[in-house]
Structures are given as structure tokens and as C-alpha cells.
């Protein structure tokens, strides 16, 4: 969208000149560039405003299916702009996103370093409809984000209440079985402050065991640097698509056994993308 707004801003200048003849004025050398920048910034602000206004009326109790394609569309066209404005560059290694199965709903798993991680995954897998499972606190602390998650088939989990957590897992299973969306989880449960991988909470793997969904194993590094670098320099994010684990590869396993296998795969991928200073 940023490139579109650049072109649109440039196109508005000759249109404006037809009415005010700004190109021939003595002040045009500074006024024209200033107007170009003003138009460009204005379009970005308008886009963000419209994005916010689209989600403000959403109720967390509303039907997810109503308007789901519209909300997915506006998020997808906004993601590249968000990535660019955050000065983030994503280096994808391992499998290509195009190698991910197109005809199946899947379980996406990744290590967790920072709240921006789901944005990175959505950007990498921008052709896949993914609903993420996030902590229940998002509803109170980031209500607008929670509304966006809700419309994208995201779910909220109470990690301190096993009964409520089980309900979330059951709902995620239903979403995959009903072919509504794939599910993305961060099986560590928490963002790692040290960036070292934390033990998995294996209960989330019931989603795969109950749906026979392929599991896409990913690893991410350096997202904790995004808020530190945002206004100073670009942040390079290393992202590896390590493997797709199919149902026949985990047939007969329980959640602990499956978690151990997936942890090994993710840890290996993570160690491969970590920089020496990490």
C-alpha cells in the first residue's frame, strides 16, 4: 500500500496544478515536495484510521464468520505497510511458504520472543488463513487487537485455568475441523525474555492429534529488537520454516511424545538462525 500511496500522492500534484498552477509559483521548489510528503503521510494516517474504525465496533461475542473475508482482506493489505513502518526486514530460510500445503488446515507452531511475532508469521504466510491463540490478557490490555484476532478466528487462552484452557483447545479443534481457518500457537506459552527456548506446554498439541492436521514448524529470532531499533535502524528478523510434520509421522503419539519431537525440530532450526551474539 505504501507504493500505491506514493504513486497516488505524485498523481495528485498535477491535478492540483490544474486548479492552482502551483508548478509556476516562485515557492514551488519547496511547496511541491512539501505537498507530496503531506499527501503521502495523510494517506498513511487515513489508512490507519480506517483500519482502527473497522475493528472498533466489533464485539468479541459476534459471529466470526460475518465479514471474515473483509477483515482478513484489510489486515492482509495493511501488513506490508506495518512491516515497512516498523522498519523490519524478514529473512526467510528453510522451506518456502509456497511449499506449505494449500488444501489443508494446519497447526502452525513457533518459538515466542515478542508480541510482534504473530505479525511476522502472518506476513510470511500471507496466503494462509491463520487464527492465533493468544493470552487472555490481550482482551483487557489490547482490546482493539483482541477484536481483530476475533474476526480472524483468533482465540484467547487462560493459562492459569486448566478448565478454561481446555475449552480454548476444543474451540481450536472445531475451527480446523469445520475448515474455517488454520491455527497458530506459541507452545512455550510465554514470550522468552532471555530469547532462550522455554519448555513446551504440550496440551496445545491435542489440536493436531484430534484433527490430524499437518504441523508447520517455524523458528524466529531477533523480534525483541524491534521496539529498540524502530526509530534508529532497520531490524532484521531471521525466520526459518523448518518442516511440515504430517499426521502419519506422529500417528500413535501422545502430546508429550509429539511435543518432544517438535521441540527438537524447532530448537535445531532456532539454533541455526541465531546470531553469535544472541
Could you give the CA distance from residue 116 to residue 79 in angstroms, rounded to a whole number?
A: 12
DSSP helix, strand, coil percent of the chain (3-state; round to 5): 55, 15, 30
Sign of the CA dihedral running 126, 128, 129, 132: negative
Does 99 fall in a domain?
A: yes
**Reduced 3-state DSSP string for 69-96:** HHHHHHHHHHHHHHHHHCCEEEEEEECC
At 13 the pLDDT is 86
Tens digit of pLDDT for each residue in 183-195?
Answer: 999 999 888 888 8
Kindly state whether residues 37 and 165 are assigned to the same domain: no
Around Cβ 139, how many Cβ atoms within 10 Å? Answer: 16
Indicate whether 17 pLDDT > 90. Answer: no
Kindly state whether residues 106 and 38 are assigned to the same domain: no
Does 178 fall in a domain?
A: yes
Could you give the CA distance from residue 162 to residue 176 in angstroms, rounded to a whole number?
A: 21
Kindly state whether residues 105 and 202 are assigned to the same domain: yes
Does 46 fall in a domain?
A: yes
Kindly state whether residues 100 and 153 are assigned to the same domain: yes
Does 82 fall in a domain?
A: no
Our count of domains for the chain comes to: 2
Kindly state whether residues 240 and 146 are assigned to the same domain: yes
Kindly state whether residues 8 and 103 are assigned to the same domain: no
At 275 the pLDDT is 67
Kindly state whether residues 201 and 110 are assigned to the same domain: yes
Tens digit of pLDDT for each residue in 18-47?
Answer: 777 777 777 777 888 899 999 999 999 999
Tens digit of pLDDT for each residue in 131-182?
Answer: 999 999 999 999 999 999 999 999 999 988 889 999 999 999 999 999 999 9
Around Cβ 43, how many Cβ atoms within 10 Å? Answer: 18
At 186 the pLDDT is 96
Q: What is the CATH number of the domain that holds 221?
A: 3.40.1130.10
Kindly state whether residues 31 and 150 are assigned to the same domain: no
Q: Which residue has the higher pLDDT, 212 or 3?
A: 212
Indicate whether 278 pLDDT > 60. Answer: no
Does 80 fall in a domain?
A: no
At 3 the pLDDT is 85
Global pTM reads 0.90
At 11 the pLDDT is 92
Which of 211, 72, 53, 212 minimizes the C-alpha distance to 129?
A: 72
Does 36 fall in a domain?
A: yes
Does 56 fall in a domain?
A: no
Domain holding 112, by residue range, is 90-273
Tens digit of pLDDT for each residue in 216-274?
Answer: 999 999 999 998 887 788 999 999 999 999 999 999 999 999 999 999 999 999 999 98
| Tally of CA atoms within 13 A in the half-sphere of 101 that contains its CB | 15
User: Which H or E element spans position 244?
Assistant: strand 235-245
Amino acid at each position: 500500500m505504501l507504493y500505491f500511496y506514493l504513486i497516488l500522492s505524485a498523481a495528485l500534484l498535477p491535478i492540483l496544478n490544474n486548479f492552482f498552477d502551483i508548478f509556476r509559483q516562485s515557492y514551488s521548489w519547496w511547496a511541491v515536495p512539501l505537498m507530496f510528503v503531506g499527501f503521502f503521510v495523510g494517506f498513511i494516517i487515513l489508512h490507519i484510521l480506517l483500519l482502527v474504525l473497522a475493528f472498533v465496533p466489533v464485539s468479541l461475542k459476534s459471529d466470526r464468520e460475518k465479514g471474515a473475508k473483509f477483515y482478513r482482506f484489510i489486515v492482509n493489505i495493511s501488513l506490508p505497510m506495518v512491516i515497512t513502518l516498523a522498519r523490519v526486514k524478514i529473512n526467510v530460510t528453510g522451506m518456502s511458504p509456497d511449499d506449505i500445503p494449500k488444501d489443508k488446515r494446519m497447526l502452525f507452531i513457533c518459538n515466542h520472543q515478542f508480541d510482534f511475532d504473530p505479525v511476522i508469521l502472518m506476513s510470511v504466510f500471507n496466503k494462509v488463513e491463520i487464527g492465533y491463540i493468544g493470552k487472555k490478557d490481550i482482551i483487557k490490555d489490547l482490546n482493539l487487537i483482541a477484536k481483530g484476532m476475533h474476526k480472524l478466528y483468533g482465540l484467547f487462552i487462560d493459562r492459569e485455568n486448566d478448565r478454561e484452557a481446555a475449552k480454548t483447545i476444543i474451540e481450536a479443534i472445531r475451527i480446523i475441523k469445520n475448515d474455517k481457518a488454520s491455527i497458530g500457537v506459541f507452545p512455550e506459552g510465554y514470550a522468552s525474555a532471555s530469547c532462550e527456548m522455554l519448555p513446551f506446554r504440550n496440551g496445545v498439541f491435542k489440536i493436531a492429534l484430534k484433527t490430524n492436521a499437518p504441523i508447520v514448524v517455524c523458528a524466529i529470532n531477533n523480534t525483541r529488537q524491534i521496539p529498540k531499533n524502530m526509530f534508529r535502524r532497520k531490524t532484521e528478523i531471521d525466520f526459518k520454516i523448518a518442516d511440515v510434520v504430517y499426521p502419519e509421522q506422529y500417528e500413535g503419539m501422545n502430546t508429550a511424545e509429539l511435543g518432544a519431537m517438535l521441540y527438537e525440530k524447532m530448537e535445531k532450526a532456532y539454533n541455526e538462525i541465531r546470531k553469535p551474539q544472541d
